[in-house]
Structure 1
Amino acid sequence: MSNSTIAGVIFDMDGCLVDTESVYKIAWRQAFEKYAVAISQEQIDSWLGLGWDIIAQEIDQITDNNKLTLAIRQAREAIFFQMMTENLVHLMPGALEMLDFVKKEQLVVGLASSTFQEKGQRILAHFELTQYFDFIVFGDEVEHRKPAGDIYIKAIEKSGLKKEQLLVFEDSLTGCEAAQKAELQTIWVPEVFSDRLKPHPETICQIVPSMIKGKNELEKLMRK
């Protein structure tokens, strides 16, 4: 193993390791259509990386009916899992190579996801990823989800490492903001690479177009 100060890596799940975000967009659209509720694609797109509590508030403003909001979410979940069963949800390019690499290098490997535990474990099991992680923090384990820093603060505690020894991989600005609040160095792998031109947290040390490039950057950092 390298003499680098990096001793652990924390990954987001949705959109970072698993390409769920593009499927969520389809599932949200179909769920709103099922209940004949109008919503713009722009608003759906803005939910990238956000926890359910924040999204629910926005849907409540549209529906003015919390029961309808929950029904729309339930429909989205059913559509998502049906698509996953049909193998229409995939790992992000380079995700397995990255996970194999960090385990080979004997780094502490963590997951920090706004997704709730029951659903998150189901996704990880489907892709046989659970065994890669030394610790996991799901959204229902903290009071405030991303962009709050709670998830990453808890991840630092679970890692047993100092924050200076950890590196985060995130795909959303929301997630990068959460990592910044925990003062964690982050490699940003934006879903849309043009998003790199947007204002972003100073704790982002690299912006890369794919997890494949992210692995290359990690190797460089470990050689320093």
Structure 2
Amino acid sequence: MVRGVLFDMDGLMFDTERLDLEAWEHAGRELGFPTDRQTLLFVRGMADADLANYLREAFGPKFDPVRSRQARLAYSNAWIQAHGMPVKPGLYVLLKELKKRGIPAALATSTSRSTAMGYLEKAGVKDDFAASVCGREVERTKPAPDVFQKAASLLGLEPSECMVLEDSPHGIAAACAAGCIPVMVPDLSQPDEELRAQCAAVVSSLEQVIALLDQF
């Protein structure tokens, strides 16, 4: 039986992956480096340090990771300030069901703690998470298993007792490596057959996760 649920954040709980693509394109226009949407989709879930190294190669010498991050954060923060947090359908009902069943939730994200906690607070769900692991608080980031192993440990559980909810290939790979139960809720792109084979289940919304809680 599932005894804990580990949540990714961007693209899973909040519709921030689309916002991040817009922010990347804004940063590229502002700072003069080329952006490629397929590359940006591929790097979803990477931590900032790994992302910077990868994109230096992909986007060329005009790419400045520090200035790019500042431009992206400014764009995203302004959008959220104007429109509120773009909460994914089913998040509130799933968290309510987990609380009803006494199943603790933990956040396991590559996003920095300050940004992640700000997002949770804006969405009104900060108190729904018993534990959190953010950004570079683990030695290796996704697709390494560290973030999920640590999140499970903070809940006092074995990884095998935890369901992981993810939207990205890097996240699913990390969940598999950790020995968790990987469930994909696709966001910007659908999984191919190889990725589906790594998942215990693929569902179209967070609300559909509720039906899976008694199946594993």
Q: Which TM-score band (shorter chain)?
A: over 0.9
State the TM-score, normalizing by the size of structure 1: 0.89
The sequence identity of aligned pairs, in percent, is: 27
Task: Give the distance between the partners of 1:84 and 1:148, measured in 2 at CA.
Answer: 30
| Aligned residues: CA RMSD | 1.8
Task: Give the distance between the partners of 1:29 and 1:198, measured in 2 at CA.
Answer: 30
State the TM-score, normalizing by the size of structure 2: 0.92
* Counterpart residue number, 2:205: 210
* Counterpart residue number, 2:121: 125
* Counterpart residue number, 1:169: 165
Alpha-carbon shift at residue 201 of structure 1 (Å): 6.9
Instruction: Provide, for residues 23-70 of structure 1, a one-character-per-residue CA deviation record: whole Å limited to 9, x for no partner.
Output: 00000100110012112222122222222122111232234367x221
**Structure 1 position 200 matched with structure 2 position 195:** yes
* Counterpart residue number, 1:34: 30
Task: Give the distance between the partners of 1:201 and 1:56, measured in 2 at CA.
Answer: 28
Task: Give the distance between the partners of 1:162 and 1:41, measured in 2 at CA.
Answer: 37
The 8 Å contact of residues 177 and 201 in structure 1, kept in 2 or not, is answered as no
Q: How many residues align?
A: 215
Which runs of 5 or more residues in structure 2 are unaligned? none
The 8 Å contact of residues 19 and 92 in structure 1, kept in 2 or not, is answered as yes
Task: Give the distance between the partners of 2:211 and 2:150, measured in 1 at CA.
Answer: 27
Aligned positions of 1:74-85 closer than 5 A = 74-85=70-81
Which runs of 5 or more residues in structure 1 are unaligned? none
Alpha-carbon shift at residue 203 of structure 1 (Å): 5.0
The 8 Å contact of residues 18 and 188 in structure 2, kept in 1 or not, is answered as no
* Counterpart residue number, 1:116: 112
* Counterpart residue number, 2:61: 64
Aligned positions of 1:81-160 closer than 5 A = 81-87=77-83, 89-160=85-156
Structure 1 runs of 4+ with >6 Å offset: none
Instruction: Provide, for residues 130-181 of structure 1, a one-character-per-residue CA deviation record: whole Å limited to 9, x for no partner.
Output: 1001111112211211111110111121110122321111111110101111
Opposite residue 208 of structure 2, the aligned amino acid is: K
The 8 Å contact of residues 35 and 72 in structure 1, kept in 2 or not, is answered as yes
Task: Give the distance between the partners of 1:69 and 1:15, measured in 2 at CA.
Answer: 22
